[in-house]
Each structure stands twice: as C-alpha cells, then as structure tokens.
Structure 1
Amino acid sequence: MLKGKKIRKVIISISFLLVLIFTNGIQNISNAEENLFNKDISISPVPKSIEEIGKGFPINPKVGLVKEVDTDPMALREVKETLKEAGVRKIVESNIHNSLPTTAVTIWVGEFSDENDFNLVKEKTGIDEINGKHKEGYTLYSGRKNDKKHIVLMGNDSRGTFYSAQSLGQLILKKDGTDWMPEVIIKDWPTFPIRGAIEGFYGEPWSHEDRLSQIEFYGEHKMNSYIYAPKDDPYHRAKWREPYPEEKLNEIEELVQTSEENHVEFTFAISPGVTVAYSNDEDFEKLVNKAEQMWDIGVRSFAIFLDDIDPNLRHSEDKEMFGDDENPSAAAQAYLLNRFNEEFIKQHEGAERLITVPTEYSQAGTTPYRERFAELVDSDVIVQWTGIGVVAPTITTEDADLTYEIFDHDLLIWDNYPVNDMDRNSLFLGPLVGRDNNLSPENGVIGSTANPMNEAEASKIPLFTVADYLWNPKVYNPTDSIERSIQEFGGDAAQALKTFVDSSYSSLISGKEPFSEELAPNITEFWKAYENEDELRKPANELLDKFTKLEEAPSELRNKLDNENFLDEVDPYLDKMELYGKAGKAAVHMLLAEKENDPAAVAEHKEQLESLLVELQSIPQTLGLGTVQPFFERVLYGENLAEGKTAIASSSEVDWLTPELATDGDSSTRWASLYNDDEWIYVDLGDVYTINQVVLQWEAAYGKEYKIQVSKDGEEWTDVYTENTGDGGTDRINFNPTQAQFVKMQGLKRATGWGYSLYEFKVYEEQ
C-alpha cells in the first residue's frame, strides 16, 4: 500500500479456518508437511483458495525481483515497500527478457500473459497451477526449485497483480531475526465486480484528508470503487449547474489521481433532480459541462442520481413533453439519462457505464414508475438499489431476483450501512450482517457500495467487513471479520478497541450488543446473590471488573492508538464510556455498603452515582449498553415493574418495531407507531401496584405533547401527568402515588413528521 501505510499482520483463529474447511468447502487448506495449517497465516479479504505446501523460508536481506516491461507500477511499489519492512536491504531488479538474478529468493511480479514468458516462469519456479480466468484474480505461489526459493505474484490483469502484492504483505510473518515466508499456493478472485463505498450521506461532508485516507484504505482491502456523492456538497446537488471553483477542482483531481494509484474507480455523481428541467436544452448543456469539467481532470465514471426528490414534474416544458405518458416522472428521468448516456458517455472513449439511482429505490415489489423506468432507460445503465427499505435489515437472493426482474437492469447495491446520518449521536461499528452469502452477479447484482458514517476513520472498522463480504461472500463470517478488523485497526490497543466496538455495535441492521450481552449474566448473578442474602463478594467483584474495563478502555485507546483523527471523532463516546464504568462501580459499591449497614458509605456512593448519571445525561452520544441504564435505575429506584410485561400499542410503524420492545429491558430496541398524533402504548403490570414514577426513553421521534394515564382494569383511564413541551431524550416523570395495573403513554402531538418511538417504557413502585 502507498505512503508507507502497511496493513498490520492479523491472526485468523484456527477454529475459523476449520469452519471454512468443513462448512463451506470453498477454502482449500492443507499442509504437505504438518497436519495443522499455520494459524499465523492470514489474508483479508479471505481468499477463494489457499493451500500450504511447505514449511516456508526466510526472507534474505538480498532478493531478486523479476518483472515484465509493463508490470503494474503500483504493484511493484507495494512489493518493494513490503520487502523493505521485511528487512530486505538490496533488491536486484531484472526484466524477464534480460539476465535473471541469481539470488536465493526471487520474486516474479506481473501478468506474464505472453506464452513464452509464462513458460519461463513455470520452468524457473516450479509453479504449475494458475488461476487465469477471473477479472482482478491472481495466483500467489511461494515454493522451492533446485534449492532456490521463489515467490510468484501473477495477476490476471493489473488489478489482480496489485491485489497479489497486497496479499504478499499480509503473508510474510514477523520473526525474531529474519522474517518468514510461508510456502503456499493462493488462487483468488472477487465474487462481485464492483466493491466499494459511496460518500452519500447527509450532513457535513468528509474533509479532503478523510477522502484521501479512505481511498487508500479501499485499495488496501481490495475494494475498487468510490462514488463521490456527498449530499451537502453544494456543487453535487443544490448548485449542480455551477462548475467547481478551482481550489475544489484541484482537490477532486487529487482524489482521482489517488484513486488511480490504488486501483479504485472514482465515480463522480451529480444529483440534479431537485431543480432540473428534464427536457430543457440549457439544463442539459450545464449537466454536460459539469461532466466535461470532471473528464478533464481524469474522471471516467459518472452517475446521475434521482433519489430523495419529489417525482412530480415542476416545469411547464416537462409537463408538456411528458405529461401524457403513462408515468410522466419515469419518462422524464429516462429521457435525461438516455440523452446523457448517448451524448456524453458514448461520445467519450474509455467512459464507464452510467450509474443511476431511481426515485423509487427502496420499495418492495413493482410500481407503475418502476415498470416504466425499466422499459425506457437504456439497457446498459446500472441501477442502484438499497435493498427493501432505505436501511435494509436483510438483502436476500430472493429480494435481488425479484428486483432484477422488475428493473431489468444490472443492480448495484447502495447499502446504507454503516451510515448514521439518521442518528448522528450513534456509531455503528459492528460488522456487516444480513446480506445473503449466496448473493452474486447471477442474481443481477454486480456489486455493492457501502454508505459510511460521517465519521470517516471510525467507518473503516465496519468497512473492513464490507470488503471481506464483497470479495468472498460464501465464506464471510461477521464475527471473525470484525475481530480481524479490530486487530488491524487497533494494533497494540486492539483489546481496548474491542471493548469500544462491542459498546457501539448495535445498528438498524443488527440489534446485537456484545458488551451488554457480556454484562447481563454478571448483573443477573449479582442481583440473585443480593436478594437471596448469598455471598455477594464474588459476583460483585466480577461485575466491578466489567465496569473497570469500561472505565479504563478510553484511556488505553487514547494512550496506545496512533490515530488522532479517530480519537477526535469518538471523543464524546469515550467520555461517556468512561462515565458508564465509573457509575457502574459506584452503583455496586453503594449496594455493598447497604449490605454492610454503612449508611455513610451508601450516601457517599449514591451521591457519586447520581452526579455521574447527570454527567451521562449531558452527553447526547449513545452507546450500545442497554443493560447498564436499567441496572442504575434499579439501584436508585427499585425494580422496573414494566420490564418483561405485556405491552399493547395503537399501531406499529413496521412489523419489527413492536410494543413489547419498549418493555424488554434493552435500551437498544424500540417500539415505533404510525405517523399520527393520536397514538398510544400501554403496559400491563400483571397486578395492581402503588406507583409514582414513569420513565420514557425516547428515540428521535418523540412526543411534544402527551399524557401519562393509569387504570386498574384497562378500560377506564385517569390522567396523572400531562406534558406540553416535551424535548425528547429521557423523561423521568414523578406523580402522586396511585394504584394501577395498566399504565399508558397517550400521544397528543408529535415533535417530528414520524410517529412516536420509545426505546423503553418503565414504571416504578413507590419506595
């Protein structure tokens, strides 16, 4: 990789490798001299086939390097940097048509597509198996012949050669004294032709530094696509007619050059749909001029996006031209796309296929718009699709087959993960999940571009897993992939980073909370011992250890992780994580003091806990620690009577945001209503209790005005509290003690255009 940034050696556990052997049948792993595959060998993304054929050999300080006349220069640079890091002090270079080096270790780099050149490589090195059919594929061989050691990096094309060089950098093992090269045969190629990311989020766009770093990251992880489409770049959307000013144009040119160096296709996207007159010649000329400006700085791939717009025609000339069509908006959009395709793309030799996003990009099933769009748009235009839903929990082969049949165009997934522009106070650091392992171009899907977070550096952690999936989905294992990502990104701070990732893991496509799952049994055992008068010290110490882990991880990350941009991005989350740890310890010590009949210590720890909770409340950023807040509240207020109890609601927005999720004791899951003011949710406590406190933990869709009502029979309701100026967050509502079995939140007025949404609905008994 470029600019001296090497991928750190990471370890794939032997158990994962065995899983690949026995469950997938894809990874061919064997060892000619031992019964166990070398557990230190790790390639990311995971290759299609890897076979160990010997024990390996040391990388001597002097090596030979044989290349073709036109060997990919970036691959050569990668190999040389890898050798330098491996302790090589002298490289003897030779062209394959000249005299060959007589070094103990010789590296052959190129495509060797000429039959004579290929036969020479076979004769000299002993390689007899190659993988030459797949675009971007490569064969990596390391072995011995006549007491000479050889490493062959043979690409099926220039990208394949570059990727073989990337794999070499990961294969070489660090050893005391001299680094070690395993003897292997790797035959590898990607499943999806297009693999990358789209900077397509709302909010503050990435900095130029961020983008350069992202592009290098893509190259390092065998991703080959970057789509430039930041919604809040005015020249991409609002000012699409205007050319870029010189300073900004120079930045984009550097991005294009860096993309080329990293074998990443830079796609420039324009989003004209908010204001464009589809049939207007002047608007079309401005569109072409904008594209010409990009062509002149080296852009060869273009996209015209029509997402997130009002599909109705606004301009009289469009209404006159398309108004009588069976679907005017589809006809108008197709006209613009086809004209651009014919008059720009096909008039520029070397231009890639045009990409578009239709206005209806996330719906399930067909519509009149989709049918007309599919019928009219040129067949070679690539259509982007998010899966079913703007943020699709799953993308299956069945989804893809049906959608491909509807659009009848090659599909490129716009995968809205790990994007967080809809929830700017959360990070989504968990692995990509919910994407079918059998998805492939056979389903009409030619690739996927992940939409990252506004936090560019933090996005690299889940994007590692995206790269893993897109290269080889058949063997993709999310748990293993995120572990390797953490090891690479975290280095010496990997363990602390894992704690942080496990606390920022849950997302719209995955409700999992690993650190909460780790904590949950400790909390359960602690309460069990506390209430049954059992020996409390052991479960207390175990719980204290977990909270100490939360408290200390931020400091360890700040001291050990050499990535200032990442630390700046996540700074408030680290602050909050540390406070959670401190508050947890204060809560445990408070309960221990109660058992020891030490009222002074109880008061001291309670005051500390309440103060820490105020600090926690002041930090809007959230972590996936759903079990922690209920623990604090039980310590201070007693047991949440609503937890685990039956909840009934007037409606649910979708079938996976149901009312019982507001009473499950997990603050990462939620109920959401339909988009009406008069919506409600109530909980049946199972018996009549004397209650005086309700806690509503709102999602972003909160109640501006609402009532808390109680009932003994679920039929007649009494108001105990009315809110007229709700501001979201967490509402802790106190009222006069009253007897009730049923407790309701009755919505009066929503604060947003969405419905009402609660992470948790809690009820407490009078203490």
Structure 2
Amino acid sequence: MNSRMPKSEGSLLSPVPQVVSYGEEGFALSPVVWLVTGVDTPPAALLQVETSLYLAGVKEVEIRSTPPEGGTADTAMPVVIYMGKFPANQSISDALNLLGATPPEALNAEGYVLAAGSTDSGTHMIVLAGIDENGTFYAAQTFSQLIIKKHHFGWIPSVVVHDWPSMPVRGVIEGFYGPPWSHEERLNQLSFYSKHKMNAYVYAPKDDPYHREKWRTPYPQDKMEEIKQLVDAAKRNHITFTFAISPGNSITFSDDTEFQDLMNKAQAVWEIGVRSFALYLDDIDPALRFPRDKEKFGGDHNPPAAAQAFLLNRFNDEFIKTHPGAKPLITVPTEYYEEGTSPYREQFAALVQPDIIVQWTGIGVVAPSIRVKDAQFIHGIFQHPLLIWDNYPVNDFDRNRLFLAPLYGRDAELYKEDEIIGITANPMNEAEASKIPLYTMAEYMWNPSGYEPEASLQKSLLEFSGGREMKALRLFVESCYGSLLNNHKEPLSLQLEPLMDAFWELKEKGAFTAEAKELLHQFVELKNVPDQLHHLGNPNFLKETEPYLLKLSLYGAAGEAAVQLVLMEKEGDASQADIQRVILERLVEKLVSIPQKLSLSVMNLFINRVIGREALTEGTKADSPAPTIY
C-alpha cells in the first residue's frame, strides 16, 4: 500500500483497503456540493454520503442526474461527487479518467474505486464507483472515513483507492447457545456489520425455541414481524439475511408431513423477504430413531448420512430450486469439526447435491488455527463449497469468560483457496462486547493480507470508545484476552510480572520504595477502570460486563492492599499491617465469590505470596475448559 498521507489522517480506514495511493494535497469541501447520481446508485449509499457531508459542515447537497457543464468566471465550481456503477455509467468512467484513476481491468464482485482530486481546469472532484451496488455502497463508507476536520471545515485528501473483498461471504452467525440477542441488539448489530463491510448475517440462535426445539411450530405474529424488520434492515444495509432451521434432533427424515412442516416454515419467511436458507444438522445424535427412517435408510452404507442427504436434497429440489432468487442452500453436517475422514463424511459428500454449501469450524470446535492445508484436506473430503463457521469470539462453552482479543490464527492465504467462500463469525452472548473482536474479524475477512491483529484491535478500541478512556478500555480488554486462538496470552500478567519480580527482589534488600510506588500505580489503574468506562456512555456494554469489571476493580484494590501490607510489615507497623491484612482477606473473599474469570493469573500468585496461603480458587491460568458442543 502506498500512503503518502500523514499516518494520523490516513491510517484508520477500516477494513484496510487493498490498494491506496495518496497525493500531496487535498481540498476542503465546499459549502454547496453537487452530487451526480445514476439510476444504479443505491439509496443507502446516497444516504451515507449525504449524511457524511452534512456532518462535515456542508450546507447544501444538490443532487443531479447529469454532469455539470462548469462554473463561470464569477462563480467558483462546487465540489462535484459522482456516484454509481462503472463501466456502464459513462459519466463515472469519464470522471475516473479525468482523475487518472482508471480501475483495473477486473475487480472482484463488491469492489470499488474511490478517487478524489482536482482536474486540470481546477475542479475538485470525487468519484465513488462500484462494480456493483454493494461496491458503490462500500465506496460511500470509505469516503465517510476519509473526511477529516481541518480548520473547522470538512477536508478530503487527494487519493485513489482500488478496493475489493478477498472473501465473497463475510459476516456473523448468531449461532450460540444461551440467551439469544434481543431484537434491538440484532438491529444494532446489522448496522455495525454494514459499517464494516460485512455482507452476511445468519439467524440461528440455538435457544430460540422456534429455530430448534419447536422447529415445526410457526413463529408467532409478533416474532414474525421482528424477523421481517431484520430482513428489511439487512437489505438496506446490503447484508444477506440467512434464515436457519435446526430440525435434526426430532425430525423424521422420510416423513412427508414433517417435510411439509419444513416447507411451510421456509415459505412463511420467504413471503417476508428471506432469500437465503440453512438447514443445520450439528450437535445432534446422528443415530436414526424412527422406524420409518430405519426402514428407508437402514441398508445404506451410512444410514445417518443417507437420511440427512435425502432431506437436504429434497429441500433443495422442492424449495430452493422452485423459488427464483433463492440463494444456495447452506448446511452444517453432524461431523463439522473432526480432523479426518469417516464413513459418515464420505457418504454425506457423495450423496448431498454439489451446489449445497457446507459449513466447517476448522479442526476443533474452537479451532486454535485454520490453515490452508486443513481447508484443502477437508474440502477433499466433503467436495462441496466450504463456508467457515468460526467459533470466535463465542463464549457459550464457558459463560464465565469474555473473549475480547483480536482474531489470531487464521492463514492470510485462506481466501486464495477456491473451496473457501468466506467466514461467518460466531459471537458472544454479550452483543456489545462482541463488537470489539468482530471489528478485527471484519478486517481479516475483507483483506487478510493487510490484517495485523494488534493494529486492528487498536482501531477497534478507538471506534468503540470514540477516543474516550482508551487506556482504561485497553486494560479491560487485556484482562479478557486469553483464548485458544492466542495460546491463552495474558498481556496484563506479562506487564505486571516483571514489576512484581522486582518488588520481591528489592524487598529483600530493604530498598524497594520506587518499585512499590510503580506497582501501586498499576493496581490503582486497574481499580479505577469501571468508573472510567462509565464515561463511554454505553450502558449496554457496562451491563454486559459488570461482573468482569467488578472483578478487575477488586483485583486492583487487592493488589493495592497487598503492597501496603508488605510495606507496613517492612516498616514494623504491626497495627497498620493487620488492618491491611483484614482488608486484603475481605477482598479475596469477594474475588472468590465472583465466578467470572479474567486473563490475570499473575494476580492470584502475587496475593497468595503476600498472605501466605491459597488465596484464590479460580486457578492460575486463564485457560478454558475443553468445549464439547455449541
């Protein structure tokens, strides 16, 4: 990436574009801006640009259908913005040529060109040109990120961006066990996905009874209305809404009546706008339970695979292929994470129609890494398009943890494998907190080659906080950092451990005041994190994370009391030492009573050493129990 723009002004584009070239200068947005659009300009893109211009101080946006002919000697030409598809739109192509921003011969679907500069005649011009409607929408989003305030005016750099997504499918699957998100949370999430150029959302909450347990039962009218609102919101945000059903625990695969129930369920949501469907067969006992199925499929090489393939193929033939505009059917096989092949996988691959998409979690339910060689091997088994169901940052297998670290462990070259069509991330039950790691996953999905985990996390925190209380937010995130993906890394423990070591080493020498002050300073910062994060103005986030924040604050207070206890003992002040010991032991009792866990094991060791007994019972490592199912 060629970037001649000052880093502070040009480094926050997200996701990181494929190719960016900055010129030496930029220009201020004029009070009146001319916006030239075509019939192919998406309404959401137009709204995005208009909103961004007004927020930048533009007084009037004049929408035109034809290019301007130029100003007069007495009237300065306003900034002109062209929006629409290319190369079909000739005015868009002409504007790109004037700015010397001719796009590559072929851009991927959803790609775009953004160019801003001045023509030889002195006209300031911006072009937002997509290869399709999604591309134009994404160009509008990048434009919004490029505008900065300069001398109280909106200002945009001279720049050319050629950008496209590396992965066709990029999004989120609400596929966790436990309390599903609320309707308001889902709507908020869709806006977040759109902002970060994700284009897929799969509705599959395991504990929505109408998704799994009561899959035959139609949704009540109020719930159907909510789903319709989600479908409409997804469409506005250029997101494919996939409706998933998980009938595998109770369906009779060969029963015509039950199949009709399935068709009716799908038809009901088709009528409110759903065009993408998934039938999930994960986390079930694959053994056939009903006499009719045993009779029909019992003689097959692998009866469960035969029964499942029968259902999938029938739904594909009788619903998907009879509904023009329906997208390819998606499924999750029962063996979705195992390392090797099996009779079930081989028969499933042989019998399921080749256009049906298979989701795969990587090797392991929560895959520490997903490598190109693994994808190639698994595709060789299934012989179907693979859509990765990435079980990060999901925490339903350990409801007493948050996973807030950036995405690690995914090969940068995965997108080059034709068999991988994309990724859907499985988030946490905590919707607001999930946004922090999901930001980084969106960056990886769009441009894996340009993805840097720590840089992406820093941008995520800046957006999440609005630039407020960044240090406190960072401390909290680092206290909820360790996961299978990063080998249970504990940044705060790594930061505190050398200070603690120096504290103990110098204690023996009788001169450790400076080290004690530094350690106290660190503990006070931890103690104050909750109060500082209240300034973010995000009550939902505070509610979700309350016990974790409380525990972090208690750790800080306990650390402070522990240092004071050692200091008092060293000074021979037995009375004050006893007071600090009582304070510390009470704090330890509170800490032990909170089941939520943090990536801060060094604190347990430090407190234990101070009071001379097993202080905390939650263990000395922030490692998670091995998950079994999702």
The interval holding the TM-score normalised by the smaller chain is over 0.9
Instruction: Give the superposition deviation at 1:38.
Output: 6.1
TM-score (norm 2): 0.95
Cα distance change of structure 1 residues 119 and 600 upon mapping to structure 2, 3 Å threshold? closer
Letter in 2 for 1:143: G
Tell me, yes or no, if the aligned pair for 2:172 and 2:201 is still in contact at 8 Å: yes
Secondary structure, counterpart of 1:393 in structure 2? coil
Instruction: Give the superposition deviation at 1:450.
Output: 0.6
TM-score (norm 1): 0.79
Whole-angstrom CA distance in 2 between matches of 1:97 and 1:174:
27
State which of 664, 668, 677 in structure 1 corresponds to 2:622.
668
Q: Deviations over 1:247-299 (max 9, x none)?
A: 00000000000000111100000000000011110011000000000100000
State which of 528, 533, 537 in structure 1 corresponds to 2:505.
528
Instruction: Give the superposition deviation at 1:516.
Output: 1.3
Residues 430-449 of structure 1 aligned to structure 2 (within 5 Å): 430-442=405-417, 444-449=419-424
Whole-angstrom CA distance in 1 between matches of 2:216 and 2:610:
60
- In structure 2, the residue matched to 1:109 is 83
- In structure 2, the residue matched to 1:29 is 2
Instruction: Give the superposition deviation at 1:216.
Output: 0.7
Work out whether 1:215 is the aligned partner of 2:193: no
Whole-angstrom CA distance in 2 between matches of 1:470 and 1:700:
26
Tell me, yes or no, if the aligned pair for 2:248 and 2:281 is still in contact at 8 Å: yes
Tell me, yes or no, if the aligned pair for 1:131 and 1:138 is still in contact at 8 Å: no
Number of equivalent positions: 621
- In structure 2, the residue matched to 1:417 is 392
Secondary structure, counterpart of 1:181 in structure 2? strand
State which of 480, 490, 499 in structure 1 corresponds to 2:475.
499
Q: Deviations over 1:36-86 (max 9, x none)?
A: 666544210111110112221112222111111221111000001111111
State which of 495, 510, 518 in structure 1 corresponds to 2:495.
518
- In structure 1, the residue matched to 2:543 is 568
Work out whether 1:547 is the aligned partner of 2:523: yes
Q: Deviations over 1:410-432 (max 9, x none)?
A: 00011111000111111000011
Residues 374-453 of structure 1 aligned to structure 2 (within 5 Å): 374-442=349-417, 444-453=419-428
Secondary structure, counterpart of 2:400 in structure 1? coil
Whole-angstrom CA distance in 1 between matches of 2:514 and 2:105:
58
- In structure 2, the residue matched to 1:737 is none
Letter in 2 for 1:550: L
Whole-angstrom CA distance in 2 between matches of 1:191 and 1:152:
22
Cα distance change of structure 1 residues 132 and 117 upon mapping to structure 2, 3 Å threshold? farther
Unpaired segments of 5 or more residues in structure 2? Answer: none
User: Which is greater in Rg?
Assistant: 1
Tell me, yes or no, if the aligned pair for 2:530 and 2:549 is still in contact at 8 Å: yes
- In structure 2, the residue matched to 1:74 is 44
Letter in 2 for 1:668: A
Instruction: Give the superposition deviation at 1:700.
Output: 9.2
Query: How large is the RMSD of aligned CA atoms in angstroms?
Result: 2.0
Tell me, yes or no, if the aligned pair for 1:37 and 1:52 is still in contact at 8 Å: no
Cα distance change of structure 1 residues 489 and 279 upon mapping to structure 2, 3 Å threshold? same
Cα distance change of structure 1 residues 489 and 244 upon mapping to structure 2, 3 Å threshold? same
Give 1 or 2: higher strand fraction: 1
Q: Deviations over 1:401-448 (max 9, x none)?
A: 000000000000111110001111110000111111111152511101
Letter in 1 for 2:44: M
Whole-angstrom CA distance in 2 between matches of 1:362 and 1:503:
29
Letter in 1 for 2:494: E
State which of 209, 218, 232 in structure 2 corresponds to 1:234.
209
Letter in 2 for 1:667: K
- In structure 1, the residue matched to 2:28 is 58
Whole-angstrom CA distance in 1 between matches of 2:549 and 2:151:
36
Unpaired segments of 5 or more residues in structure 1? Answer: 1-27, 641-661, 671-698, 702-752, 755-767
Letter in 2 for 1:90: E
Tell me, yes or no, if the aligned pair for 1:587 and 1:635 is still in contact at 8 Å: yes
Give 1 or 2: higher helix fraction: 2
Residues 598-609 of structure 1 aligned to structure 2 (within 5 Å): 598-609=573-584
Q: Deviations over 1:468-508 (max 9, x none)?
A: 11101112111111111011101212221111101111123
Cα distance change of structure 1 residues 555 and 228 upon mapping to structure 2, 3 Å threshold? same
Cα distance change of structure 1 residues 60 and 338 upon mapping to structure 2, 3 Å threshold? same
Secondary structure, counterpart of 1:179 in structure 2? strand
Letter in 2 for 1:502: E
Letter in 2 for 1:86: A
Q: Deviations over 1:209-264 (max 9, x none)?
A: 11001111000000000000000000000110111110000000000000001111
Whole-angstrom CA distance in 2 between matches of 1:397 and 1:429:
25
Secondary structure, counterpart of 1:170 in structure 2? helix
Cα distance change of structure 1 residues 41 and 73 upon mapping to structure 2, 3 Å threshold? same
